Amino acid sequence: MPKVLPAIFSYEDMKSKWNQDNPDEPYTRRKDLETGLYALDKWVLRVDDEQNAIATVGWKEHGSHTVVGGMLASKKGREIGGNNRALQDAREPQLNQSKPLVAAFGHRDGDNARWISNAKKNGWVFSQDEEFKQVQSALPEAVISDWNSAYPNGNWAIRTIRGKDEFAKCVYSDDVFSEWWSVVKAKPNSGKKISDSQWLMLKEKILDDELPVDRKKYVKYSSLADINKRMVLYYLKLGFARPRRRPEAYNGILEEMLRSSNERYDIEDGN
């Protein structure tokens, strides 16, 4: 099961482990990002079952704010998915809780517009947004000026530290469940393949009340009626025993966790 290592790495140590574990995909960072505004000095690493690095992200604390970024996933890491959520969930508690975060958004080889759109959903406020005048007051004018000069296209943003409940609602483009917990249900026999690791992660996140995140439509597992809980466990076990029936089992889980399928959610659901 992929996990984020508890250690905090320096830039050089992170790069050394990454290159050792991924000799065909060495970690690269533009020279202008290794100094100045984006010189990040603390990093966390996500590893696979063999303890090989598959994704990383960094940060650096300044006097008035913390700069975050440097996200990169290996080919294997992209296949596994879920790197953004796992890394940011591990990084957030390490950050100074009293300082705003600053980041620039420039996807290496993907859809940057979609990345920025997701960032806005996750609480980032960009320089062209109406709310920016309000959040920029948390930073000195000199810092605002430096970032405007470095990113004249406006692809930099500010946000505050997130709480656990806010994290659960975040949307990431590489989230292995971002499509599954949508309003439209997956169709049985649609050809969608759900891997063993995805099904295991699904089970853990359901039982830990992390999924589903749409609490207006679904009830968290701990608040389900006993009969609904038993059915969710039945479908999870079915998915482990018969991988081909996972889309069907997934649909069954959704049905059991619907608010309309639970009589006592209004009394026991603490949301």
Taking the C-alpha atoms of residue 238 and residue 245, their distance in angstroms, rounded to an integer, is: 7
Same domain, 230 and 154: no
pLDDT at 191: 53
* Domain annotation covers residue 176: no
For the four alpha carbons of 167, 229, 176 and 121, in that order, the dihedral sign comes to negative
Residue 180 has pLDDT above 60, yes or no: no
Q: At what angle do helices 246-257 and 196-207 cross, to 10 degrees?
A: 10
Residue 33 has pLDDT above 90, yes or no: no
Same domain, 113 and 228: no
262 DSSP 8-state letter: -
Please state the domain count of the chain: 2
* Domain annotation covers residue 61: yes
Residue 171's nearest CA partner among 162, 160, 179 is 179
pLDDT at 12: 97
pLDDT at 175: 67
User: Which has the minimum average pLDDT: 39-43, 145-149, 247-251?
Assistant: 247-251
Mean pLDDT of the chain: 85
Residue range 145-163: average pLDDT? 90
- Sheet with 42-47, side-by-side order of all strands: 3-4, 42-47, 53-61, 66-73, 101-104, 156-159, 125-126
Same domain, 116 and 213: no
Residue 205 has pLDDT above 90, yes or no: no
Q: What percent of the chain has pLDDT over 70?
A: 84
Residue 232's nearest CA partner among 241, 221, 242 is 221
Confidence band for 81, pLDDT divided at 50, 70 and 90: confident
Same domain, 200 and 163: no
Residue 60 has pLDDT above 60, yes or no: yes
* Domain annotation covers residue 188: no
pLDDT at 127: 85
Question: Virtual CA dihedral for 188, 200, 14, 23, nearest 10 degrees?
Answer: -60
Same domain, 231 and 129: no
* Domain annotation covers residue 189: no
Q: What is the CATH number of the domain that holds 140?
A: 3.40.630.30
* Domain annotation covers residue 37: yes
Same domain, 159 and 211: no
* Domain annotation covers residue 87: yes
Same domain, 146 and 231: no
* Domain annotation covers residue 116: yes
* Domain annotation covers residue 74: yes
Q: What percent of the chain has pLDDT over 90?
A: 47
Residue with the two structure tokens 């069907």: 248
Same domain, 160 and 223: no
pLDDT at 188: 46
Residue 47 has pLDDT above 90, yes or no: yes
Same domain, 15 and 144: yes
- Domain containing 240: what range? 196-268
Beta-bridge mates of residue 56: 45, 72
Q: What 3 state SS string does 191-246 have?
A: CCCCCHHHHHHHHHHHHCCCCCCCCCCECCHHHCCHHHHHHHHHHHHHHHHCHHHH
pLDDT at 184: 35
Same domain, 23 and 141: yes
